[in-house]
Amino acid sequence: MVFFRKKKDMPNGLWVRCDGCGSMLFKKTVEDGIFVCPECNYHFRIFSRDRLNLLVDENSFEEMWPNMAPCDPLNFKDRITYPE
């Protein structure tokens, strides 16, 4: 009977915890399920790049301006400061 075993090395990012039901899910399963928990139907946050990959067919989308960033031509100022 072994009480202490050597911890197996597992790469980071293989598992995600659902915020809805708390279950541990294989990340690939969540991605294949369109970022929805198969246990409770909780919708995970999704990055814009992942959303584009879901919407367009492979090799049918060409990004035109990859370095484009938002700008503020009106120099908008609010009465309340926003946290960074």
Q: Is 35 domain-assigned?
A: yes
Query: Could you give the CA distance from residue 81 to residue 84 in angstroms, rounded to a whole number?
Result: 9
Q: Is 47 domain-assigned?
A: yes
Whether 26 has a pLDDT exceeding 70, the answer reads yes
Query: Could you give the CA distance from residue 23 to residue 47 in angstroms, rounded to a whole number?
Result: 21
Query: Could you give the CA distance from residue 33 to residue 12 in angstroms, rounded to a whole number?
Result: 20
CA atoms within 13 A on the CB side of 65: 3
Q: Which two tokens stand for residue 83?
A: 């946290």
Domain span at 26: 15-55
Q: Is 44 domain-assigned?
A: yes
Higher pLDDT, 65 or 83: 65
If one counts the domains in the chain, the total is: 1
pLDDT of residue 40: 96
Whether 14 has a pLDDT exceeding 70, the answer reads yes
pLDDT tens digits, 27-74 = 999 999 999 999 999 999 999 889 988 999 988 988 898 898 888 888
Whose tokens are 């879901």? That residue is: 54
